[in-house]
Amino acid sequence: MSPSFGRGAMTNSWQDMQNSECFLIAGSNCAECHPIAMKWVNRARAKGAKVIVVDPRFTRTASQADIFAQIRPGTDIAYLGAMINYYIENKLYNEFYVMNFTNALYKISKDFKFNDGLFSGFNPETRKYDYASWAYQLDAEGKPVKAASLNDPDCVFQKLKAHYSRYTFDVASKITGIPVAKIKQIADTFAAANPGNIFYALGMTQHTTATQGIRCYAIIQLLLGNTGKAGGGIQALRGEPNVQGSTDMANLNANLPGYLPYPTNAEKTLQDYVMKNGSVQHKPLVALLKAWFGKNATAENDYGYQWLPKNNPSNMPIQPQFFSKMEEGQFKLLLNWGSNSTVSIPDRKLVARGLSKLEMLVVADIFNTETAQFWSEEGLDPAKIPTEVVFLPAAFVYEKAGSMTNSSRLIQWKEVALKPLNDVHPDLDMLDHIFKKVRALYAGSTDPKDEPILKANWDYGPHEAEPLKVLQELGGYNDTTGKPIASIGEYLAAPVGAVSTGCWIYTGVTPEGQNLADRRGNDDPTGLGLNKDYAFAWPGNIRVLYNRASCDAYGQPVDSRRKLIWWDPVQNLWVGNDGPDVADKTKGPDTPEGKMAFRMNPEGVGRLFTATYKSGAVSTPPEGIGAVPVRGAGMTVDGPMPEFYEPIESPTANLLHPEVQNNPCAKIVSKEFGKPDAYPYVLTTYGVVEHFCAG
């Protein structure tokens, strides 16, 4: 979703689901795995909403559906592409929305091509794309050239139309196994809804084409004008109660907290980093460094930028590859916190082989997991495994205080319900204790490599770490006043280097003397499920992201029953029932800033085609950081538009391009594959709500 909308988070909230008129649930079994979501789906159903479920299995969610389609696993892009084609060919798209809030009119470089399953720029040796041809045509000021109409052959809309012209209902049916009539019924039913909502979970994400499948959802919602509206958008149903919080804190190795791009070895200085990623990333990175290194982070030393280890873009392993590296002897120690890789990674044997090569494995969990007992796997001889396993009993969710951020971006505070027994400790205390002991070992060192440990600003309490101090660090401080940052507006107005925050999107969660994550106000005067006084949603307590797109050209709501925000000409201000998701609340709907419905994208619009682009780009590097590109675009590494590829182990030939069977950019980790003649079945796995957090 990030390359499409600018943020990767769920667009709406759980409560907002009651405002939907139709649900496309594909890749989720929410009736069983996310029952709270189903509660709000049922409220919408009581008002007449339709439910469409696409799944390989007839699930409990499917049993509640108005339309159920059984699909061949891994073929979602085929029927979704057919829906896109159908909406374009039959002009079922929202023309005002498409022309004003997407990049449909932007002209694409004449060098861009797509032939036989491959986009222009593919390197077969590296199995990667060069994005150069996936670019806009630019004017003299470096801004994208816009077509006069959607009929211009160079514009994004026509590129989209041509690309999906191959995706007929008949082709989609042959690929997916869903009957033609049912695909058309799904497309018509969803298009008729105003608004429609899309749900997905691990059933979509765990594919080699997962990113592009989700991109299809984004394209559909942009074409129909459903994003940014109450009851619309795309909802990523997370697998555990704090998955959103963990990704906010940089669970992915290409991110820093707050979704900042992680520095690579090509960006040796802060200037290099900002030149590549844009000045919009300058302040949050400096604020993060000040939070991490405190008074040791100064303008004179680039705020400690040199203390950050740098990623190597040519060596960015995904999780299974870490175990391959372990097997090769690259790692000696693994700290395993709340992760059961033996169960969650498909190649169980690879995990066991990798762990067998370690000197020490430390597992912190609430019970003795399969990973902690990997040595008992079939085919392994414990006597020949040198790995020492240390198990640290960790406190259960109700035995520790702290914040949890749910799928709605809602930061909720919780207190300890029951203190843990015996030698059981919260993860935070264990990490705090380990870091303090490690720092003590390095005391007095003059080796530059030890500076990050010795210079770190680590003060969360003298004995047991205080979770509230962590949240306050995330919410940030104003260095001028010495007080906690009161709002994201205060953060945005401050000069670079004048604020510190451990995660800039959390700014405003802990104003002086308050913890807004601990609020429990249930008032909902609009009946839309906004509940603005319940906890705190990032950014800026906005409950529906991109809500500028819920208004017309004059800044007035297009849906009089579901008003989110609007432009007040008397106050000359964006106001509303929700926090306005706009670039500047004082800029009217007729200004460039006031037109931006997707302000986190450099174009300010939703991206049907993920073109490579930096707003405010300059031809020569400036002397000062302030004049660098403003914002860079998020990219999809396997194509600017989604394309169907067969699953890696599929015995079925790719109907669209037999010569390019699978995703050419997919990282293949496992070395052993079964043969369909020996086992001609697709094995699907699934979990229920009791799977996580329940022992």
Question: Distance between the two ends of the chain, CA-based, in angstroms?
Answer: 32
If pLDDT is split at 50, 70 and 90, which confidence band does 243 have? confident
Interatomic CA distance for residues 665 and 648, integer angstroms: 11
**What is the average pLDDT across 222-236?**
98
Residues 6+ apart with CB under 8 A from 9: 1, 236, 244, 409, 545
- When mean pLDDT is compared across 11-15, 346-350, 437-441, 515-519, the lowest value belongs to 346-350
Position 464 scores a pLDDT of 86
Interatomic CA distance for residues 215 and 544, integer angstroms: 19
**What is the average pLDDT across 343-371?**
93
> Is the Cα dihedral 136, 137, 140, 144 positive or negative?
negative
User: Has residue 621 got a pLDDT over 60?
Assistant: no
Position 525 scores a pLDDT of 96
**What is the average pLDDT across 52-65?**
96
- When mean pLDDT is compared across 260-269, 585-594, 614-623, the lowest value belongs to 614-623
In order of their start, the domains of the chain are: 2-237 (3.40.228.10), 319-393 (no CATH)
Instruction: Find, among 139, 138, 118, the residue nearest to 129 by Cα.
Output: 118
Interatomic CA distance for residues 496 and 507, integer angstroms: 15
Position 620 scores a pLDDT of 47
Q: Is 279 helix (H, G, I), strand (E, B) or coil?
A: helix
User: Has residue 690 got a pLDDT over 80?
Assistant: no
User: Has residue 381 got a pLDDT over 60?
Assistant: yes
CB atoms within 10 A of CB 328: 10
If pLDDT is split at 50, 70 and 90, which confidence band does 463 have? confident
If pLDDT is split at 50, 70 and 90, which confidence band does 629 have? low
The predicted-structure confidence for 30-54, as pLDDT tens digits, reads as follows 998 888 899 999 999 999 999 999 9
**What is the average pLDDT across 117-138?**
96
pTM: 0.92
Percentage of residues in the chain having pLDDT higher than 70: 96
Position 675 scores a pLDDT of 76
* Residue 173, H or E segment: helix 169-176
For helices 348-355 and 319-327, the axis angle rounded to 10 degrees is 50
The predicted-structure confidence for 507-563, as pLDDT tens digits, reads as follows 999 999 999 999 999 999 999 999 999 999 999 999 999 999 999 999 999 999 999
**What is the average pLDDT across 415-444?**
95
HSE value, Cβ hemisphere, 13 Å, CA-based, for 328: 6
Bridge partner residues of 22 (DSSP): 50, 196
Position 672 scores a pLDDT of 73
- When mean pLDDT is compared across 180-184, 212-216, 316-320, 369-373, the lowest value belongs to 316-320
Position 685 scores a pLDDT of 63
Position 624 scores a pLDDT of 53
User: Has residue 668 got a pLDDT over 90?
Assistant: no
Percentage of residues in the chain having pLDDT higher than 90: 83
Q: % helix / strand / coil in the chain, to the nearest 5?
A: 35, 15, 55
Q: Are strands 122-123 and 128-129 parallel, antiparallel or unpaired?
A: antiparallel
Interatomic CA distance for residues 331 and 355, integer angstroms: 9
Interatomic CA distance for residues 51 and 68, integer angstroms: 9
CA quadruple 499, 503, 505, 508: dihedral, nearest 10: -60
If pLDDT is split at 50, 70 and 90, which confidence band does 4 have? very high
